[in-house]
Amino acid sequence: MTRARATLVGFSAVALWSLLALFTVGTAPVPPLQLNAMAFAIGGGLGLAWVARSGGLRQLGGVPLRIYAFGTAGLFGYHFLYFSALRLAPPAEAGLIAYLWPLLIVLASGLLPGEHLRRGHVAGAAIAFAGAALIVAGGGRAGGAVQPGHLLALLCALTWAGYSLISRRLGAVPTAAVAVYCIATAVPSALAHWALEPTVWPVGVTGWGAVVGLGLGPVGLAFYTWDIGVKRGDIQMLGTASYAAPVLSTLALVLAGQSAATASLALAAVLIAAGAGLAARAGRALPRRVKAARSLP
């Protein structure tokens, strides 16, 4: 698979994550940890079925236990910290801090072997972050003291950025291992749910459909395509393009009648598109320069 094609596969994860909010609204009143367990069980089951059908079950036996522990900690840790942050701090503020992970990926990826961080990447990430801030913080209050939820949200951003960057270094680990990550994440989520939450099942066909949708897409297929993207694609471009998720998520809510279209949404879309374009141009410029340099006598 070429680098460009892997990057496109990674983009599909961003598109699927844009449906996270819409599907989550439809699953109410299922509590967070129960929803986490149900969705990851579906996503993991889907992955195991795919691995079995493609004849890749043998690959799973060759993956070290420490890798499985890493993947499980990344998926479970991110979602546990995210849900906790939204409970302990204003959601808009916590969400904005948690969405620092794309910026962290773009900036820290320059430290990876074979990667180069250019001014265009930094500028593009900053412009895109400004667009994401318009969406995520649009309804939040300004100011206020630092709360425990703010710190948890920062840990949330660091967790997913770290998971994505370390996954880049684990390029030899098959994407099939993500299926085990998901199943292993569902187990502690279920245990935490039984200890901390009441059990509330989805309501009607819409509720169950939203749970299945989460498991198949944002909390399922997205993790597999993201794994391919960060391991084989342009991780800096993927990090910057991830800022499209809050815009696409808001558009999905607007189309579903769950939110109103605003001028800030249009401005955010322009900023995010401009930031992603600038980062993409920076990513293309370096290979051209390297190629030109190699052609010199």
Alpha-carbon gap, residue 73 to 184, rounded angstroms: 9
Q: What is the residue type of 185?
A: T
pTM score, whole prediction: 0.75
Alpha-carbon gap, residue 110 to 122, rounded angstroms: 10
Tally of CA atoms within 13 A in the half-sphere of 129 that contains its CB: 19
Q: What is the pLDDT of residues 227-249, one digit of tens each?
A: 889 888 887 788 777 777 777 87
Q: Which comes out higher in pLDDT, residue 167 or 217?
A: 217
Element (H, E) at 173: none
Q: Which comes out higher in pLDDT, residue 215 or 282?
A: 215
Alpha-carbon gap, residue 217 to 7, rounded angstroms: 18
User: What are the structure tokens assigned to 41, written together?
Assistant: 């069980």
Q: Which comes out higher in pLDDT, residue 41 or 120?
A: 41
Alpha-carbon gap, residue 184 to 213, rounded angstroms: 20
Q: Which comes out higher in pLDDT, residue 8 or 259?
A: 8
Contact between residue 279 and residue 106 where contact means Cβ atoms under 8 Å apart: yes
Torsion of CA 105, 107, 111, 115, to 10 degrees: 80
Report the candidate in 35, 49, 66, 6 with the shortest Cα–Cα distance to residue 238. 6
Alpha-carbon gap, residue 96 to 137, rounded angstroms: 6
Q: Which comes out higher in pLDDT, residue 145 or 25?
A: 25
What SS3 state is found at 202?
coil
Contact between residue 94 and residue 149 where contact means Cβ atoms under 8 Å apart: yes
User: What are the structure tokens assigned to 127, written together?
Assistant: 């412009």
Alpha-carbon gap, residue 135 to 163, rounded angstroms: 25
Q: What are phi and psi of 103, to 5 degrees?
A: -65, -40
Mean pLDDT, residues 6-26 taken together = 87
Tally of CA atoms within 13 A in the half-sphere of 266 that contains its CB: 4
pLDDT for 289:
45
Q: How confident is the model at residue 294 (pLDDT cuts 50, 70, 90)?
A: very low
Q: With 70 as the cut, is the pLDDT of residue 63 above it?
A: yes
Mean pLDDT, residues 279-294 taken together = 52
- How high does pLDDT run on average in the chain? 80
ω into 102 cis (within 30 of 0): no
